[in-house]
Structure 1
Amino acid sequence: MMYALYTAVALIGLVTLWVPLALVRRFTRGVPLNARARLGGDAPIGAGRLSAWLHAVSVGEAIATAPLIEGLRRLHPELPVVMTTVTNTGAQIVRERFAGLVTHRFFPLDLPWVARRVATSINPAFLICMETELWPNTLRALASRGVPVMIANGRISDRSFRRYRLVRRFLTSVLADVRVFAMQSDEDARRIIALGAHPERVVVTGNIKVDAPVADPAGTVDLWRRLLALSPGQRVWIAGSTHAGEEDPVLEAHRAALAEFPELVLVIAPRHPERTAEVLALLARRSWPSIRRSELPFAVTSTSVPVPPVVVLDTVGELATLYAIADVVFVGGSLVPVGGHNLLEAAQRRKPVLVGPHATNFRESTSLLESVGAALVVRDASDLSRELRRLLADPDLRAKLGDAGYEAVASRHGAVRETLDLIGRYLYPGVRS
């Protein structure tokens, strides 16, 4: 009964919300509908072969799967790896970074008949969902085929926990279809158990993103500095993964900092690239000269023509490596109540991090970096401006905080190893014959 009600609500939402919004995005921003893929119309993966199915909703989760993909290919080379994403940006990352290693598919609409069709097409030995992606009909379809499911790098934000508690009775039956929960922290484990997961199926592994290798190509810093036409010693700060409502305080802080550091360059990286036009319009209204990253030449041999004081990153997948040239990093989604974004990419590159008070989705990594002074919480434009100028003025302090953050992250390695061990114990071997 509850599944029927869920499916009915999903169908109503599909017709009244998803389809109209998808059409608007298609005709105003050129975002593909991917309707056939969403309905499970892709060709089967192989002639009866089992596969390893990984699901990552978007960019950050897809990038975090890299060490898992490497481990699966090493330990179980007989299994082709299929990765599904929800977003087009996530799909782009998968196709660029894992070309030849995985087959990409869009995650299907969570309807019973679609889920069954996709399960047949992919023929998974198991499914690994990154970060607590719970799709009831898909999980039920896999359970009916005897396919084990893992939640890997699981986390439950404050907002998600409040929402899930409203449907706990239904959620308990959904969670019963998950074989093992590999959660990031003790608090995440406590929450998933409170929502109905069997305690014996819950394991705290830590955060896989801590283990993600930082393998910036040789010469990355020099390449970016040439691309931005930066002179030796010229300072750069990056506002990464920003949301609506954050660019204004960032620009206010930048204007104040320019009074002390007139050659300072700001790179704004909107979380969603489709907001680029919106950010550029804001910059124009505020009379800020700016340029898109995509408008920059691939190589600059002279710094005689510097870039404007604001660069807007309108590409996908470059932010993490761009952090390598930053003197200071602000991680967005945190000055507005979004929940924050990944601080670890900056810390792994020895950068001091500024973050707002709303990084509730990343409380463990924020607390870790804050405990060693590597992350400074700023509550508004005034705080951001003050801390930015303090860090820009003191290279020794920047180095000290950057080193502290790097060492703190390195001390938490081991999540990938534990997750691969859980795959061997709970998912494969021991699957259906």
Structure 2
Amino acid sequence: MPELLTNRAPTLARPAPSRRRAGIGEALRWSAFRALERLSDWRGNNTQGVFALSDPQARGPAMWLYITTIGELNAVAPMLEWLVTQRPDLRPVLITEHAHYQDAYLARLPHAVVCLTRGHSLDAQKLAEQLPPQVLALAEIPCLPSDAPCRFSYAFLRQARRHGAATLLLNGWLYHYEPPARLDQIERQLLERDFLRSLDVLCVQDDATAKTLADRGADPQRLVVTGNMKFDAMQRPHWQVSQARSPGLLGALLAARRPTVVGGCVTELPEQQAVLGAFQRLRRDHPEALLILAPRHPENKERLQALLAQIEAAGLRWVRRSAVPDAPLPEAVNCLVLDTVGELRDFYAAASVAHVGVDHNVLEPLGLGKPLTIQEGWNTTYPSYPVYRLLRDQGVLHSCADEAALHAYWRSALEGAASVQEDLRRTEEVLSHLRGSVLRHQQACLAWMGAEGTTRRPEHAAGAAGTAKTR
């Protein structure tokens, strides 16, 4: 098995270490950065004027949560639920720069407030004035300022410290990206060490990440190697179709037991062509088969139109999920384009076999026990890569080079081939050894989760709020 914590016994919850005060050096660095941000504002800073709350009237103590994507929200869901249970007195606030995630975020956490921001320091100040944080949790990324396409400004972390919030990094991992803009580069150069030293506990996926962060300035006593939480989040033993956003449509598919291929996040043109070609071959043997195809970014109209043109050229009778009611699909439809956000994970339940696009989440279909195909070419800097690498190295991911190989495996899966059943057995065996990260996270964070004044006595950092993002 991989070294990743598979043989390590859980440890008892550790007492919260004492907190450091932000020194004069941090205050000077922050003042210098704020001066540069103001200059950027004067020149036309594109992070200004974006701030919005889903509930503009929301007030009171809050739990700030920075979770980059819908996939990451699903991946950290067990830990998120635990955090909310620990502090029911706090209003969850989901911070994002993606307005189109709001409905999916609120479907997962109906009582939350979604905060839209690109990370300007004045946004952090506004949010803290209206919904002062008592807990801040960063899920997976960023471990460093501007380390990923979706970034979290130091301003929000600094505001959390000023308000005495517990500051937690969950499922930490590094992209190794360079900051995309000059001011982002300066933020990292000036404030990277302060960023790391502002986190009370840093839960990271592996020893390599822990070493890198320690070398960059994190306190080794606050670093905890917890493994990858995604292996726990994939389990859905109590899932029911009534919990889905489209229970009528999805329930009818499950009841009909129609041979169904679900292609999730198939983004690039060559892979889309391979999937469509394989499905056309499959229909020769199974003419009643259905293809459910989910583009990665349905809000990207140009990319979506290109996909629809491919489907049309393939001669498939298709509908868009956004254009049909939550009701059984007509039998004549043989392709459902899942152009909504946040539904793919549930639609994997209808799959006879699944295919996950390069660089995306293989655990969602595996969590439902579905046969799975992928193609090669995964990017080492994407958050899906650590899971892909672990499972690839264990030999449980079935990679298909072309449409002929895809068709062959899909047909074997539909027809219950013994080789596919053995793949599923071996996959579950491997996955069972990789679970346990959520418990380690809880043990690492428990000491920081008490109400103000009961578990800890935070020392507030001095100074004002704010920082900047991409310019």
Q: For this structure pair, what is the TM-score category when the shorter chain's length is used for normalisation?
A: 0.7 to 0.9
- Per-residue deviation, residues 288-330 of structure 1 (Å, max 9, x unmatched): 3311224455344xx9x52433221122322112112212211
RMSD of aligned residue pairs (Cα, Å): 3.7
- CA positional deviation for 1:380: 5.1
Structure 1 length-normalised TM: 0.79
Structure 1 residue 344: deviation in Å? 1.1
More helix by share: 1
Question: Quick one: distance in 2 between partners of 1:188 and 1:166?
Answer: 23
Calculate percent identity across the aligned residue pairs: 24
The one-letter amino acid paired with 2:168 is M
Task: Indicate if the aligned counterparts of 2:134 and 2:163 stay in contact, CA closer than 8 A.
Answer: no
Between 235-244 and 377-386, report the one with greater CA deviation. Answer: 377-386
Whether 2:221 is the aligned partner of 1:200: answer yes
Distance in 2 separating the partners of 1:10 and 1:42:
27
Specify every segment of 5 or more residues in structure 2 that has no aligned partner in the other structure, as ranges.
1-28, 143-151, 460-471
Counterpart selection for 2:373 from 349, 354, 360: 354
Which of 200, 204, 208 in structure 2 is aligned with 1:183?
204
How far apart, in 2, do the equivalents of 1:406 and 1:223 lie?
30
Deviation of residue 376 (structure 1)? 1.7
Alpha-carbon distance, 1:250 to partner: 1.8
2:316 is aligned, of 263, 288, 294, to 288
Q: 1:286, CA displacement in angstroms?
A: 4.4
Q: After TM superposition, give the deviation of residue 355 of structure 1 in Å.
A: 2.3
Q: In 2, distance between residues paired with 1:177 and 1:343?
A: 33
Q: Aligned runs of 1:239-278 on 2, under 5 Å?
A: 239-245=263-269, 246-275=271-300, 276-278=304-306
Structure 1 match to 2:326 = 298
Residue type of the alignment partner of 1:348: G
Matched, 1:430 2:456: yes
How many Å separate the matches in 2 of 1:191 and 1:397?
41
Q: Distance in 2 between matches of 1:384 and 1:13?
A: 52
Partner of 1:23: none
Of the three residues 261, 283, 286, the one matched with 1:237 is 261
1:30 counterpart residue number: none
| Higher RCO by CA contacts (8 Å cutoff, separation 6 or greater) | 2
The verdict on how the C-alpha distance between 1:11 and 1:204 changes in structure 2, with shifts beyond 3 A counting, is farther
User: Which of 36, 45, 62 is matched with 2:59 structurally?
Assistant: 45
Once the two structures are TM-superposed, the CA of residue 347 in structure 1 deviates from its matched residue by: 0.9
Matched position secondary structure for 1:274: coil
Q: Which amino acid aligns with 1:203?
A: V
The whole-number CA distance in structure 2 between the counterparts of 1:240 and 1:156 is 24
> What's the CA shift string for 1:153-189, capped at 9, x where partnerless?
1122355699999986442332222222111223333
Q: Counterpart amino acid of 1:3? A: F
In 2 relative to 1, CA 395–324 (structure 1 residues): closer, same or farther, beyond 3 Å?
farther
> Do the aligned residues in 1 keep the contact of 2:50 with 2:117 (CA within 8 Å)?
no
Aligned equivalents of 2:371 and 2:186: distance in 1?
39
| In structure 2, distance between residues paired with 1:186 and 1:162 | 27
Shift of 1:73: 3.7
Q: Deviations over 1:367-407 (max 9, x none)?
A: 34335543123455565455445544553333332233334
CA deviations 1:170-213 (Å, max 9, x no partner) are 42332222222111223333343344433322211122222224
Q: Deviations over 1:207-231 (max 9, x none)?
A: 2222224132168999667645986
Q: 1:142 corresponds to which residue? A: 160
Q: Could you tell me which residue of structure 2 aligns to residue 129 of structure 1?
A: 138
- TM superposition shift of 1:130: 0.8
Given that residues 227 and 298 in structure 1 are in contact (C-alpha distance below 8 angstroms), is that contact kept between their aligned partners in structure 2? no
Identify the residue that residue 402 of structure 1 maps to in structure 2.
424
Look up the match of 1:27: none
Letter in 1 for 2:348: Y
User: Which whole-Å CA distance do the structure 1 matches of 2:188 and 2:405 have between them?
Assistant: 39
Alignment partner of 1:91 is 2:119? no
- Cα distance, 1:36 vs. partner? 4.5
> Is there any run of 5+ residues in structure 1 with no aligned partner, and where?
20-33, 335-339
Q: 2:417 & 2:179 partners in 1: Cα distance?
A: 41
* CA separation of 1:262 and 1:10: change in aligned 2, threshold 3 A: farther
Structure 1 contact 63–93 (Cα < 8 Å) conserved? no
CA contact (8 A) 2:105 2:114 kept: no
Equivalent residue number for residue 31 of structure 1: none
